[in-house]
Amino acid sequence: MAQLSLRGIKKRFRDTEVLHGIDLEIGDREFVVFVGPSGCGKSTLLRLIAGLDPISDGEFVLNGHRMNDVAPSRRGIAMVFQSYALYPHMDVYENMAFGARLMGLDKAEVERRIAETAQMLRLEPLLKRKPRELSGGQRQRVAIGRALVRKPDVFLLDEPLSNLDAALRSEVRLEIAKLHREIGGTMIYVTHDQVEAMTLADKIVVMNNGRIEQVGSPRELYETPANTFVATFIGSPRMTLVDVTREGDRLSMAGGGSVASGTLPGPGALKLGLRPDGVQLHRGSGEGFAGRVEYTEYLGDNAYVYVRLADGTLLSARTTPNDLYAPDEAVTVSVTPGAAHYFSAEDGRRLNP
Ligand SMILES: Nc1ncnc2c1ncn2[C@@H]1O[C@H](COP(=O)(O)OP(=O)(O)OP(=O)(O)O)[C@@H](O)[C@H]1O
């Protein structure tokens, strides 16, 4: 059982504040992913939860108990780092046994837990090997196994896949998802890879500059981003933002063209957000935004066409592989009904009703 509350958490290194008041509730058995650009404070927040760094301000409460001053080893929290941090001179078995013995477990219990964990992670044939005799993916499984044998209430994983190649990443990603289902613990996972975030998370926490921009399920963040930061961070290729002016029931772009507006408060300037699957391309001129094809990415099952709009914005549109465009071809972009996102021109806040 693990219920975490972060209340007004701040972190300062000397005079620099890097977390500016984080409020977050994490439920039992939840898989929570922290995402955000490099330097936004994801790892710092994880280290505060683990107890590896002191909290400057605010409170961390675990199952009703304030944890701020509780030693890392007494928090019931295990952390898996991107660098594995295995002991090079110990074999896999010893690496896994080390932390469990420090907890004061007897020999038989340590053996039992390692056998169970090794089976779950398919590590049995590797137990006598040293870390240097393992592949990157195998080392990462050992690092996860070492955390598992401690049977923590909370697992913290800091970019655990970042040292793996693309094929292994998706393999270990699936394993982590399976593991979460099997052991049912609370997991907090840091990544800047949004595919990992979207596929693993029950709940994504989008961070930026030491603050939380939005918390929600992958679907909520994709469909109803709270602001332009989340809108352009979640989704690949990124959402395109077009500066438009509302005049009557039309949204006009500087330099050429307009599209119908949805139900929106008041006239004036706003940002129109368009995902690649929310627009349609038409050859030549017509009703919509005018632009020219810059290049096309062919991906086999679909294709992305990048269009330079008349106002200079680069827009990405999804098409089928049978509907390809030549570079420099003149096109018109129209918006699929219901697919437009509207944001304030001043502060980027979502305006959709
Ligand atoms: N020990 C430290 N002393 C001073 N500043 C630090 C320290 N650790 C982190 N920082 C600063 O705190 C900010 C947040 O760093 P953090 O490592 O948490 O970011 P991150 O989101 O995990 O980034 P990345 O995705 O690159 O790992 C950065 O500006 C970083 O330079």
Ligand 1 binding pocket includes 246 (Cβ within 6 Å): no
Contact 209, 44 (CB under 8 A): no
Query: pTM (2 decimals)?
Result: 0.90
Per-residue pLDDT of the chain (353 residues; tens, 9 = 90+): 799 999 999 999 999 999 999 999 999 999 999 999 999 999 999 999 999 999 999 999 999 999 999 998 889 898 887 666 789 999 999 999 987 888 788 899 999 999 988 888 888 999 999 999 998 888 888 988 888 888 888 999 998 888 777 877 887 788 888 888 888 889 999 998 888 999 999 999 999 999 999 999 999 999 999 999 999 999 989 999 999 999 888 889 987 788 887 776 667 899 999 999 999 999 988 889 999 999 999 988 899 999 999 999 999 999 988 888 999 999 999 999 889 999 999 999 999 87
Q: How far apart are CA 105 and CA 109, in angstroms?
A: 6
Query: Mutation test of ligand 1: which of 19, 44, 46, 52 has the most ligand atoms closer than 8 Å to its C-beta?
Result: 44
Q: Ligand 1 centroid vs 44 CA: distance in angstroms? A: 6
Give the E-state strand segments of the chain in sequence order. Answer: 4-13, 16-26, 31-35, 57-62, 65-66, 77-80, 154-158, 186-190, 203-208, 211-216, 240-247, 250-253, 258-260, 268-274, 279-283, 289-298, 303-309, 314-319, 330-335, 341-344
Residue with tokens 């409460």: 61
Where is 170: in which H helix or E strand?
helix 166-183
Q: Go through 156-166 and write b for each residue having 16 or more CB atoms within 10 A of its CB, e for each that does not.
A: bbbbbbeebee
The CATH number given to 237-344 is 2.40.50.140
What is the best residue among 10, 12, 15, 18 to mutate for testing ligand 1's pocket, by most ligand atoms within 8 Å of CB?
18
User: From the CB of 255, is ligand 1 less than 6 Å away?
Assistant: no
CB 341 within 8 A of CB 352: yes
Token code pair at residue 282: 């038409």
Instruction: State yes or no: cis peptide before 237, omega within 30 of 0.
Output: yes
Which ipTM value was assigned to this complex?
0.97
User: Is 47 near ligand 1, meaning CB less than 6 Å away?
Assistant: no
DSSP state of 288: S
**Residue 210 CB neighbour total at 10 angstroms:** 20
Q: Where are the domains of the chain?
A: 4-229, 237-344
* Rounded distance from Cα 18 to ligand 1 centre (Å): 8
DSSP state of 266: S
| CATH placement of domain 4-229 | 3.40.50.300
